[in-house]
A and B are shown apart, each in its own frame.
Chain A
Amino acid sequence: AQSVTQPDIHITVSEGASLELRCNYSYGATPYLFWYVQSPGQGLQLLLKYFSGDTLVQGIKGFEAEFKRSQSSFNLRKPSVHWSDAAEYFCAVGDGRAAGNKLTFGGGTRVLVKP
């Protein structure tokens, strides 16, 4: 069964500093990988996705993620964090073998931004 691990439950970063959120997955085939962001009281917003091709993918809000098959990782990065980036971030893997697209989510990483 597929699984996703986000090792960091909380991360605190200063505004303007760089941010990296870790995501490790377990999946038997080529994974479909996603990063979502959730602000308080809201649903999940898609930041970026990886299906194939270039292993460095660009997303919205200045985020990027790099797929590393050898490390089973899909880490999310942002060079310079803004206060509005304070939120919870979820990594997810899609089940490529099923007809549907069940997403399996990691436990999330809550990001706090210090002024």
Chain B
Amino acid sequence: GAGVSQSPSNKVTEKGKDVELRCDPISGHTALYWYRQSLGQGLEFLIYFQGNSAPDKSGLPSDRFSAERTGGSVSTLTIQRTQQEDSAVYLCASSLVGGSNQPQHFGDGTRLSIL
């Protein structure tokens, strides 16, 4: 399909382990976003990539969270030393370009469960 692809769809891991979540945006989309959806906090912005510009990391909750985007396409969100409060659905979105008038297209998310 031509949509945003995220993998894995589900991830269960033990507290303290590191996890990597992958996002493959729509081809040609230069802007990529990560959000977190949790019961207590709703939908929260995490990080934004636009082309070759420095990412906007203002939403990352701690230094255990990091993300990169290689070649302006695929992105990986990494959570180190996972904690139970990291359990959530992590959603990736992309848009053709950055900007407030650009609709974001979302993937189906990765459901992360920390035991």
A contact set with B: CB distance below 8 Å: 32, 34, 36, 41-46, 49, 51, 90, 92, 94-96, 98-108
Contact = CB atoms under 8 A, between A and B. Distances in A.
A108 B105 CA distance: 18
Interface stretch (B11-19, B60-68, B72-80, B94-102): B94-102
B87 to A, nearest CB: 16
Contacts of A94: 100-101
A23 to B, nearest CB: 14
Contact of B106 (A44, A49, A51, A102): A44
B39 to A, nearest CB: 11
A96 B100 contact: yes
Interface of B: 4, 6, 31, 33, 35, 42-43, 45, 48, 50, 53, 56, 59, 91, 93, 95, 98-109
B72 to A, nearest CB: 15
8 contacts: A32-B100, A42-B109, A43-B4, A95-B100, A99-B99, A100-B98, A100-B99, A104-B45
Contacts, number: 71
A100 B42 contact: no
A32 to B, nearest CB: 4
Nearest to A46: B103
A89 to B, nearest CB: 12
Nearest to A96: B100
A34 B106 contact: no
B103 A49 contact: yes
Nearest to A49: B103
A41 B33 CA distance: 19
Given A99-B50, A105-B42, A43 B106 contact: yes
Q: Looking at B6, B100, B106, which has the most chain A CB atoms within 10 Å of its CB?
A: B100
A105 B43 contact: yes
A112 B50 CA distance: 38
B45 A102 contact: yes
A30 to B, nearest CB: 10
Contacts of A43: 4, 6, 91, 93, 106-109
A105 B108 CA distance: 17
